[in-house]
Amino acid sequence: MTSEMAGRMDQTLETLHGNGDHDAIGVTSWVSVCPRGLWKVQQKQTREGSQKSVSDAAQRNLSLSLLACSSSRYPRIGSLCRVRVQLKVDEAESTASEKGKEMLSVQPEQSVTEVTEASAFPRRPDSVLQVPLGDWTTLRLGEGQCDITEACVERMRAGEECEILISPVENGPDVSHPAEGNPPLCATVELEAFTTGKESWEMPPNEKWEWVKSHKERGGTRFRSGDVWGAADSYSRALKLLITLGGHVREVERKGQEAEEQRDANNDGEMLSNGLPSANDFKTTKAELHSNMSLCQLKLNQPERAKASAAKATQLEPGGAKAWYRLGQACQMVNELEEAKQAFRKLLEIQPESLAALKVIKSITNREKETNAQLGLRLSKMFS
């Protein structure tokens, strides 16, 4: 994961957040993520939205009181979106569709009754779309609960319906491919109404910081549950918002002695009175996110990306032991043994008792000796 996937991964996650390609017949395509891995999504509009369709929906006394937005607007971060996803299959494919439905959906445990909250349902590792099929569901856009579904909704107006084709990415890691000869899975997504949200640049800094913390916490929860792709997505979302906060944090730092005294009084690492983190907390959080992203990329067998993420973490927080360990692991995976030794030696400076670092350094040293011995033997044969 993109995030960066998470660079998706940077490239992959960036496409998830709206940088899709448009072809001549109006089909938008991108690569998205779910707990099962990377999936290619093709979206085609089948019904246009209109102000009238939204008004009619409101008149039907929806189970959720959503503010219907103008048809010229799209959902934004924080929007509560009233959506329905249904599997679309031919009669001849009815048997296969049951299997597809199991893979695509999360079955609802109960009907939606809340008026102002998003629907609650688990994120499952064996599901692609995550959202319950066939029922109206309320998603809070920007949380990444249902990656593919949310990416579709970001491109839709109230009252619109679209058709999507979903297929696993060729040779993508952690992807279970459908049986040979099966067509891509097809579903429809309807957006009935949505509440007003915000672009990231419209958010006040303290609200962005709350989103950053929420994404970071969600990433940890997903990683512990085995949802590595989802964790990387959450860390990526947090980093993208955190970067935009840098200027605000620096501005607070420039305010002088008054802000300095306020930070000193806040020595337990809590936020300043304006809801923003101190410069030190900002840097620490950014380093932790890069380090966590590196761990995800290692798990997803993306050593070059993991190396870059870990290097950023060590630059921000030179005392971060986990980041140095992950940097060493990534360097090992790309066969940069001297750089790996330097990373593990740095780790030993921070944690002299680290048996893992000592073991790896010894292993690398023995490996280098064997390589040199083999090279010397070859050279001796060449000149003998």
Per-residue DSSP letters for 121-163? Answer: ----TT-SS-SPBSSEEEEETTS-SSHHHHHHHTT--TT-EEE
What CATH architecture does domain 35-197 belong to? Roll (3.10)
Domain spans, the chain: 35-197, 318-384
Q: Is the pLDDT of residue 186 over 50?
A: yes
Q: Is the pLDDT of residue 13 over 80?
A: no
Tell me the whole-structure pTM to 2 decimals: 0.76
- Lowest-pLDDT range, 31-40, 77-86, 202-211, 232-241? 31-40
* Better-predicted residue by pLDDT, 25 or 293: 293
Token readout for 225 is 């549950």
Which band of pLDDT confidence, cut at 50, 70 and 90, is reported for residue 121? confident
Per-residue pLDDT at 106: 46
CATH code: domain 318-384 is 1.25.40.10
Three-class secondary structure of residue 43 per DSSP = strand
- From CA 122, how far away is CA 108, in angstroms rounded? 9
- The tens digit of pLDDT for each residue in 31-78 reads 888 877 888 999 998 887 754 444 444 434 443 444 444 434 899 999
Q: Where do the H-state alpha helices sit in 29-123?
A: 51-59, 94-104
